[in-house]
A and B are shown apart, each in its own frame.
Chain A
Amino acid sequence: MRVLRLLGSLKLTFVLLAAVTAGIGAGYVGGLDARPLLTGVLALLIVNLLGAIATHPRFRRQSALLAFHLCLLAAMVLVAVGDLLRLEGRLELANGQAFEPELVQITNRGAWFSDAALEAVAFRQGRFTVDYAPGLVRRAMRSWVDVSPGGEHPDRQIVGDTQPLVQQGFRFYTTSNKGLAALVSWVPVRGRAQIGTVHFPSWPLHDWKQVNEWTSPGGDALVLELVPALDLAPGEAFTFDSERVPAAGELRVSHAHGDASLLPGQMLRLPGGRMVFHGLTTWMGYRVVYDPTLPWLLATGIVGALALGWHFMGSLSPDARLWRAADRDPAVRA
């Protein structure tokens, strides 16, 4: 009991709250990495709050105050759990390509995140349009995806920067990252041909360097460059529409033995096999986020705020005499 009381000490609360505030401030203003400090302090705050809830009689008498602090406790625990379960990543899909878990480039993965969760996600990339105001200011972005890619009829849904596709708790948002791609197939000397896309840097941001490196399945190191296929007039408003990209672009290929220029339908012989250029297509870049604790955190926040309001209504009740007290105070009236 003594230990509990010590752990639940309000002096400790003060020190810890000050440490959290200072840690956030230092992290933000001083650019320090306050994460380890904050994690430690939050863990202590959780213990401190548990101790206080167990030992302070006020919490037994005032249930709304208790509810608020329990929500606080729950929120801290949820933030910690969310950090362990979360996933953040990026994804690029070419026009017509279906989602596959392996395509996700993970940027942040919680220790408890399970890859199996991504298996149930299924959609296929369709058309997209991006509106630009003069000066290349990006405006509305619409990306159509088919969410029943195996089904008889396409079931299309629009995804945007602020309008996610939500599947199995994963949220996919479009990003400024999207561009042109070359549709190529590879015919090895022996074996089956494969078709795929090579994505070029984000367009129109990198209009001036539509270059990418690619190693063919046959082991040939290639540099692919797209000869500008879309006219860019940055001073005018326009719409980048994946369906209005001219399929007829020109692809320059440099390899160890020389350079070549391919038009759609043309082929290049390389030591490892043959590369066929089919034409231009597009790709869309998504941001993927997963944090199953978010709805709970939201509910906790709302309940906590309401409980606190309830508590204050009781403890600082709008007693009319007090509100009007200044009226009767001679010094104030003077």
Chain B
Amino acid sequence: MLPTVTQPFAPEVLWIWGGLAGYIASAVASIRIRTGAASRRAEGRVLGALWFAVALLAVAVTQRWLRVGHGPFLTLFEVLLSNIFSLGLFYAVAYWRAPAVRPGAVIVLPVLVVLGAWNVTVSPVPGSLPATYDNPWLWVHVGTGKMFLGACLTAAGLAGVLLMRGAGGPGGKRHADVVAWRFMALAFVFQTLLIVAGAAWARDAWGRFWGWDPLETWSLITWLIAGTALHARLTWKLPPAVGWWSILVVLVLAVLTFLGVPFLSHAPHRGII
């Protein structure tokens, strides 16, 4: 018996399956290093599989873009696709250039696997692009958003292994902590720009820079918690574990804001008017 086709076929999905396979291979290799089943020389394999996945996802993004005629930021399928691509790219560069982030791979890569698996189960039917999307601020908004999420995920990977007491001896722990906060600081700068660009876009598009729609509200809450977390770490000198938890909270909120809120609510920010 032939399987029932429940979704219209989209050619990008094949490339996404390939990317997902790359992420799985990369995650498995990083877990093997962590559990001692492989030596650190296997980091080359982690990175190789990561680049492989990112390259396939780049093809998926390009194909989608050409096929539907607009950038991948409208439907849940498109937002997931562009994010698994940009997060993978960000992390591949970080992994390659800043070896200090590598211990966090055991958290970051499984997260990418989960997002990729989610992506292939979501309907790829294209949406229609409302006029509000034709605006230069959109590009700044989307670009800074991708940088924010990438830096946040990288920081959260390190915070997670630090909480699992896995970042090594005292020296390693301290370094991993410092590097995690660097990425958090980077994330915060991009998040600030993200909100500013979003507000500028909203002003152009809807005549108001801020309307307390669910997306705006949640991104502001995330921003305030990120700011509070930075104060907690750098100003109030709270115990490090509180800081690491707060990084994870910011990541969870950010992912919910990016991937949950726009698709659960029917607010105008979703783009449909």
Contact residues of A between 268 and 314, Cβ < 8 Å to B? 287, 289, 291, 294, 297-298, 301-302, 304-305, 308-309, 312
Complex CA gap A284/B40 in Å reads 68
Q: Name the contact of B273 in the complex, choosing from A10, A161, A163, A309 (C-beta under 8 A).
A: A161
Which chain B residues border A329 with CB–CB below 8 Å? 168-169, 171-172, 175
A162 touches B179 (CB 8 A): no
Complex CA gap A327/B176 in Å reads 11
Binds B, one of A19-27, A93-101, A144-152, A225-233: A19-27
What is the CB-to-nearest-CB distance from A38 to chain B, in angstroms, rounded to a whole number? 11
Among B103, B179, B204, B207: residue with most chain A CB under 10 A: B207
Q: Name the contact of B220 in the complex, choosing from A11, A24, A289 (C-beta under 8 A).
A: A24
Contact with B along A147-179 (1 / 0, CB 8 A): 000000000000011111000000101001000
Which chain B residues border A171 with CB–CB below 8 Å? 207
Binds B, one of A185-193, A194-202, A241-249, A316-324: A316-324
Q: Name the contact of B36 in the complex, choosing from A21, A289, A294, A334 (C-beta under 8 A).
A: A334
Complex CA gap A158/B189 in Å reads 37
Contact residues of B between 219 and 268, Cβ < 8 Å to A? 220-221, 224-225, 227-228, 231-232, 235-236
B131 touches A160 (CB 8 A): yes
A28 touches B217 (CB 8 A): yes
Contact with A along B88-109 (1 / 0, CB 8 A): 0000000001111111000000
What is the CB-to-nearest-CB distance from A173 to chain B, in angstroms, rounded to a whole number? 5
A309 touches B169 (CB 8 A): no
Complex CA gap A21/B217 in Å reads 10
Which chain A residues border B185 with CB–CB below 8 Å? 312, 316
Complex CA gap A173/B204 in Å reads 10
B159 touches A (CB below 8 Å): no
Complex CA gap A297/B197 in Å reads 11
Which chain A residues border B51 with CB–CB below 8 Å? none
Q: What's the dominant secondary structure at chain B's contact region?
A: helix
Contact residues of A between 122 and 148, Cβ < 8 Å to B? 133, 138-140
Contact residues of B between 101 and 148, Cβ < 8 Å to A? 101-103, 128, 131-132, 134-135
Among B135, B204, B224, B225: residue with most chain A CB under 10 A: B224
Q: A21-B221, A298-B200, A301-B199 are in contact. Are A10 and B235 (CB under 8 A)?
A: yes
Which chain B residues border A294 with CB–CB below 8 Å? 203, 209
Considering only CB atoms, which chain B residue lies closest to A164 in the complex? B207
Which chain A residues border B199 with CB–CB below 8 Å? 297-298, 301
Contact with A along B167-208 (1 / 0, CB 8 A): 111011001101101100110110011011001100111111
B182 touches A309 (CB 8 A): no
Which chain A residues border B176 with CB–CB below 8 Å? 326, 332
What is the CB-to-nearest-CB distance from B206 to chain A, in angstroms, rounded to a whole number? 7
A14 touches B (CB below 8 Å): yes
Q: Name the contact of A10 in the complex, choosing from B36, B134, B214, B231 (C-beta under 8 A).
A: B231
Among B176, B221, B236: residue with most chain A CB under 10 A: B221
A289 touches B193 (CB 8 A): no
A309 touches B204 (CB 8 A): no
Q: A162-B204, A312-B186 are in contact. Are A325 and B172 (CB under 8 A)?
A: yes
Given contacts A138-B273, A326-B102, 10 further A-B contacts (CB under 8 A): A24-B217, A28-B212, A162-B134, A176-B273, A298-B196, A305-B193, A316-B185, A322-B178, A326-B168, A326-B176
Sample 26 A-B pairs with CB under 8 A, ordered by A number. Answer: A10-B231, A17-B227, A18-B228, A20-B224, A24-B217, A24-B221, A25-B221, A133-B128, A139-B131, A160-B131, A162-B134, A162-B204, A171-B207, A173-B206, A298-B196, A298-B199, A308-B192, A309-B189, A323-B100, A324-B100, A329-B172, A330-B168, A331-B168, A332-B176, A333-B40, A334-B36
Query: Interface on B for A, CB 8 Å cutoff?
Result: 36, 40, 97-103, 128, 131-132, 134-135, 167-169, 171-172, 175-176, 178-179, 181-182, 185-186, 188-189, 192-193, 195-196, 199-200, 203-209, 212, 214, 217-218, 220-221, 224-225, 227-228, 231-232, 235-236, 273
Query: Interface on A for B, CB 8 Å cutoff?
Result: 10-11, 13-14, 17-18, 20-21, 24-25, 27-28, 133, 138-140, 160-164, 171, 173, 176, 287, 289, 291, 294, 297-298, 301-302, 304-305, 308-309, 312, 316, 318, 322-327, 329-334
